[in-house]
Amino acid sequence: MAKTLAPVAVSFNKPKGGLNHANLQVNDVKTSFRILQQKSSAPVPPLDEDVRVVTAAEYKEAALCLAEAFAEDDVARYFIDVPDREHWSEEDKWNLHLEILEYVTYAHILKGLVTTVGEFGAVALWMPPGQNMDDFWTILRSGMWRLNYRLSAEGKRRFFNEFLPLLHDTKHAALGEHDDDSWYLVYIGTKPQARGKGYCRKLIEHVTKQADRDGRLVYLESSNPANPPIYRKFGFNDRRTVHLQRAEKNVELDIMIREPKGQEKGGKN
């Protein structure tokens, strides 16, 4: 949310890895919905004393942090505050908001990198270079497939037909040939009571230091107009603004890219 639901780059397309996915056995199917102490195959930049990697057993705490951070976020609400769910109570909507973030967080634990500082005071979901969570098993095991049933008809149109393609196409257009070799900050959130303590800076710099060492770009979508000035402090530059247009209110996402320090590595405008 850098977003989603805040921006979550997920697709429910065909299984990329097929049934022979390298890391999975057929037996995993029946344990799909249990919490596994599985580590992501993604590389982890060196950790300092404050930042640590979130394990699968902790996905609910991490998701709760993000749910609180994004409780008022326009993009997160875009799929929930829909005309065909007007009859829902705020509690129903909160539960769905939290549930979505649990799926997304779990998928990033499986295939990306989830970090925290301040014991879930702040949480970041990263997709490292060359990784994605589009495969069948990750969608199955994270519970992401349930969105097909949990979102309303309009929520699904917004999520699957508008939001995911927009994010995918925008990222591809903005990063060009670097789309597959850049870091992607999918979500970062600090609980309201933990803000202003430098948590966001620690989580971002944990990865940007590694991106600098490797000469890689870092990409994000910002769902809150208050945030680009914060991201500029970390070296991100504005690239473009995209719009979600199915609600009465236009919802904007600012696309930002950080060049590796001391290097110019392109990325299209």
Ligand X SMILES: CC(C)(COP(=O)(O)OP(=O)(O)OC[C@H]1O[C@@H](n2cnc3c(N)ncnc32)[C@H](O)[C@@H]1OP(=O)(O)O)[C@@H](O)C(=O)NCCC(=O)NCCS
Report 230-259 residues binding ligand X (CB under 6 A): 230, 233
Taking the least distance from each CB to ligand X, the nearer of 66 and 211 is 66
Which two tokens mark 113?
Answer: 């990198």
CA 176 to chain centre: 20
| CA-wise closest residue to 227 among 69, 7, 2 | 2
Q: What letters, b where the CB count within 10 A reaches 16 and e where it falls short, cover 34-56?
A: eebeeebebebbeeeeebbbbeb
Taking the least distance from each CB to ligand X, the nearer of 198 and 215 is 198
| CA-wise closest residue to 3 among 205, 185, 235 | 185
State the minimum distance, in angstroms, from the CB of residue 2 to ligand X: 4
Taking the least distance from each CB to ligand X, the nearer of 36 and 230 is 230
Taking the least distance from each CB to ligand X, the nearer of 2 and 164 is 2
Taking the least distance from each CB to ligand X, the nearer of 26 and 226 is 226
> Out of 2, 207, 211, 242, which residue is the one contacting ligand X (CB under 6 A)?
2
Specify the 3-state DSSP secondary structure of 264.
coil
Residues facing residue 177 across a β-bridge: none
| CA-wise closest residue to 170 among 244, 232, 231 | 244
Residues facing residue 253 across a β-bridge: 242
Binding mask 170-209 for ligand X (x = CB under 6 A): ------------------xxx----xxxxxxx--------
17 binds ligand X (CB under 6 A): no
Binding mask 114-153 for ligand X (x = CB under 6 A): --------x-------------------------------
Contact 264, 91 (CB under 8 A): no
Give the binding range for ligand X (CB under 6 A) out of 133-141, 161-169, 175-183, 222-230.
222-230
What is d(CA 252, CA 241) in angstroms, rounded to the nearest whole number? 7
Give the binding range for ligand X (CB under 6 A) out of 11-19, 130-138, 219-227, 238-246.
219-227
Give the binding range for ligand X (CB under 6 A) out of 37-45, 68-76, 134-142, 171-179.
68-76
Q: Which DSSP symbol is given to 39?
A: P
> Out of 9, 24, 51, 69, which residue is the one contacting ligand X (CB under 6 A)?
69
Taking the least distance from each CB to ligand X, the nearer of 5 and 139 is 5
Tell me the residue length of the chain: 269
Which two tokens mark 150?
Answer: 């949990």
What is d(CA 86, CA 263) in angstroms, rounded to the nearest whole number? 50
User: Residues in contact with ligand X, total (CB under 6 A)?
Assistant: 25
Taking the least distance from each CB to ligand X, the nearer of 137 and 236 is 236
State the minimum distance, in angstroms, from the CB of residue 141 to ligand X: 26
Using a 10 angstrom Cβ sphere, with 0-12 exposed, 13-18 middle and 19 or more buried, the burial of residue 119 is exposed
Binding site for ligand X (CB under 6 A): 1-3, 69-70, 73, 122, 188-190, 195-201, 222-224, 226-227, 229-230, 233
